[in-house]
């Protein structure tokens, strides 16, 4: 078995020369990329200038809805919250902490959109207390995600949206570990969860749709299942099924009507954007974990927000959503449990802001 997580993890094993250097690009390179983010799409008339200035010293004033995030006395010692980035224009931050704890301090209806890729179930041990994704049972994993996205819904504006990237995986077939794949050695894992009730050995679990239905039941409107098609997917040593070459990017809305600019990203011949997006995986050389490409995130930013709007990612990892949001003139708040990942994100975001 191989899966999208092993594809993502392959990034850390790529030789330096094959790694994607442009993700740490400065503003000019980023703006130049803006017109060709999605090969089959374009952004008519978009101004990709950034407007944020950065200031490390002053906490954001409370015209800023994020002031509640800046300081919290309720921080657990393991989370060790700190604001590592604070916009002088008082509206962007990277926060170290558990998304569930951090979001609880955010006022209602703060964010225009959330674009995120949560930890996948039992595919990656991020090695830190409080992490989501290492639950023994699939039901517990989904329940934890529903908890996070319940709070995300609360902090989303009435006309706001959620873009959720998630990939699927297979049952372990009774093994408590996963062997390396001949064509993809880094897929090895030293533990595997038990096969979920109702599933069999070798079953595709359907994790994305299970999450989508759970969020729909929790109140989100499920509006689109975008297929992230990966032309450069990892090979798999399988002979009894096709090689997996896609993940999902679900679009949810908080209400029936919501901000969505269908002219912001168009398909070929200016037709309405389709639900299959071809985007190459783009490993980021510093990240020793799953990252998604900026080119997957930027269309979501353009479709769901205007310049100046606030974008949230409760699981920032290496900060890809921040790169896409800040690089296109949006404001951004990212939350991440692992302080060393926030350091990576800060470096990437600082690069985009030309700091
Ligand atoms: C799939 S990765 C996100 C990768 C990111 N999209 C990128 O491009 O770099 C999921 C992240 O969620 C973080 N995480 C896990 N549990 C968390 C929690 N309870 N609160 C906040 N972050 C958490 C992990 O440390 C990991 O960095």
**In sequence order, what are the residues at sequence separation of 6 or more whose Cβ sits closer than 8 angstroms to the Cβ of residue 102?**
69, 72, 81, 95, 314, 335
- List the CATH number of the domain containing 234: 3.40.50.150
Mean pLDDT of 86-112: 75
% residues pLDDT > 90 (the chain): 47
* pLDDT over 80 at 190, yes or no: no
Does some domain include residue 179? Answer: yes
How far, in Å, is the centroid of ligand 1 from the Cα of 99? 9
pLDDT for the residue 191: 61
Model confidence band, residue 87 (pLDDT cutoffs 50, 70, 90)? very low
Check: CB of residue 243 under 8 Å from CB of residue 235. Answer: yes
CA 260 to centroid of ligand 1, rounded, Å: 26
Instruction: Pull the structure tokens for residue 97.
Output: 């902490």
Ligand 1 atom with the smallest distance to the CA of 313 is 6
Say if 94 falls within a structural domain: no
Average pLDDT in the 253-275 region? 95
**Residue nearest ligand 1's atom 23 by CA:** 337
Pocket of ligand 1 (CB under 6 A): 98-99, 117, 119, 126, 130-132, 287, 289-292, 315, 317-318, 320, 335-338, 341
Instruction: Indicate which atom in ligand 1 lies nearest the CA of residue 341.
Output: 27
Contacts of 131 (CB under 8 A, 6+ apart): 119, 125, 337
Question: How many angstroms is it from 126 CA to the middle of ligand 1?
Answer: 8
**pLDDT at residue 198 above 80?**
yes
Residue 270 has pLDDT above 80, yes or no: yes
Q: According to the per-residue pLDDT averaged within each range, which of 41-55, 235-249, 283-297 is highest? A: 235-249
Q: Tokens representing 263?
A: 């002219």
- The better pLDDT of the pair 174, 116 is held by 116
Two structure tokens written together for 350: 């600082």
| Domain hosting residue 231, numbered range | 2-44+110-331
Q: What is the DSSP letter of 18?
A: G
Note whether residue 298 is domain-resident.
Answer: yes
Q: What does the block give as tokens for 215?
A: 């969020």
Specify if 58 maps to a domain: no
The pLDDT assigned to 129 comes to 85
- What is this structure's pTM? 0.78
Per-residue pLDDT, 127: 77
> Which atom from ligand 1 is nearest to the alpha carbon of 338?
25
Distance 290 CA to ligand 1 centre (A): 9
The alpha carbon of 120 and the centre of ligand 1 are apart by a number of angstroms equal to 9
Q: Look at 84 and 129; give whichever has higher pLDDT.
A: 129
Q: What is the pLDDT of residue 176?
A: 58
133 alpha carbon – ligand 1 mean position (Å): 9
| 202 DSSP 8-state letter | T
Beta carbons within 8 Å of 77's beta carbon, 6+ residues apart: none
| 264 assigned to some structural domain | yes
Q: What total number of domains does the chain contain? A: 1
- What residues form DSSP beta bridges with 336? 96
Q: Are 290 and 56 in contact (CB under 8 A)?
A: no
**Is 286 among the domain residues?**
yes
Rounded to whole angstroms, the maximal C-alpha distance in the chain is 59
Report yes or no on 235 lying in a domain.
yes
Ligand 1 mutation pick, 336, 343, 344, 352, max ligand atoms within 8 A of CB: 336
Which residue minimizes the CA distance to atom 13 of ligand 1? 315
Whether pLDDT at 335 is above 50: yes
**Best-predicted range by mean pLDDT (24-28, 148-152, 197-201):** 148-152
**Mutate-to-test residue for ligand 1 from 79, 337, 346, 352, highest number of ligand atoms within 8 A of CB:** 337
Average the pLDDT over 305-315 and give the result: 93
pLDDT of amino acid 274? 96
Mean pLDDT of 154-182: 82
SS3 146: helix
Would you state the pLDDT for residue 177? Answer: 52
Contact present, 287 and 240 (Cβ < 8 Å): no
Q: From the CB of residue 221, how many other CB atoms can be counted at a distance below 10 Å?
A: 16
Is a pLDDT exceeding 50 seen at residue 315? Answer: yes
Report the mean per-residue pLDDT for the chain.
Answer: 74
Q: How much is the CA Rg of the chain, to the nearest whole Å?
A: 19
CA distance 16 to 240: 34
Greater pLDDT, 354 or 229: 229
What mean pLDDT comes out for the span 32-36? 33
Q: Is residue 96 part of a domain?
A: no
| Share of residues in the chain with pLDDT > 70 (%) | 68
Task: State the distance from the centre of ligand 1 to the C-alpha of 10, rounded, in angstroms.
Answer: 17
Higher-pLDDT residue of 125 and 42 is: 125
Confidence of residue 15 (pLDDT cuts 50, 70, 90): very low
Best of 20, 24, 130, 131 for a ligand 1 pocket test (most atoms within 8 Å of beta carbon):
131
């Amino acid at each position: 078995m191989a899966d999208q997580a092993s594809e993502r993890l392959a990034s850390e094993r790529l030789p330096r020369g094959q790694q994607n250097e442009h993700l740490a690009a400065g503003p000019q390179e980023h703006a130049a990329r803006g017109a060709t983010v999605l090969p089959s799409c374009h952004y008519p008339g978009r101004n990709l200038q950034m407007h944020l200035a950065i200031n490390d010293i002053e906490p954001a004033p409370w015209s800023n809805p994020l002031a509640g995030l800046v300081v919290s006395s309720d921080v657990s010692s393991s989370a060790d919250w700190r604001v590592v980035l604070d916009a002088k224009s008082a509206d962007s931050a990277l926060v170290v902490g558990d998304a569930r704890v951090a979001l609880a301090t955010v006022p209602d209806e703060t964010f225009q959109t959330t674009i995120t890729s949560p930890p996948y179930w039992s595919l990656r041990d991020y090695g830190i207390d409080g992490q989501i994704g290492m639950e023994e049972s699939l039901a517990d994993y989904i329940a934890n995600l529903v908890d996070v996205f319940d709070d995300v819904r609360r902090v989303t504006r009435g006309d706001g949206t959620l873009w959720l990237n998630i990939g699927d995986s297979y049952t372990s077939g009774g093994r408590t570990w996963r062997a390396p794949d001949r064509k993809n050695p880094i897929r090895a894992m030293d533990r595997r969860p038990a096969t979920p009730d109702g599933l069999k050995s070798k079953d595709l679990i359907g994790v994305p749709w299970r999450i989508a239905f759970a969020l729909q039941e929790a109140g989100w409107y499920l509006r689109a299942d975008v297929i992230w098609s990966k032309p450069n997917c990892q090979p798999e040593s399988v002979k009894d099924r096709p090689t997996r070459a896609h993940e999902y990017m679900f679009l949810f809305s908080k209400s029936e009507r919501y901000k969505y600019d269908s002219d912001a990203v168009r398909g070929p011949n200016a037709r309405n954007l389709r639900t299959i997006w071809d985007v190459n995986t783009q490993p980021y050389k510093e990240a020793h974990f799953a990252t998604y490409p900026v080119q997957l995130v930027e269309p979501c930013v353009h479709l769901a927000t205007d310049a100046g709007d606030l974008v949230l990612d409760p699981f920032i990892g290496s900060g890809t959503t921040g790169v896409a949001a800040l690089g296109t003139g949006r404001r951004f708040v990212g939350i991440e449990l692992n302080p060393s990942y926030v350091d990576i994100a800060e470096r990437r975001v600082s690069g985009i802001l030309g700091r």
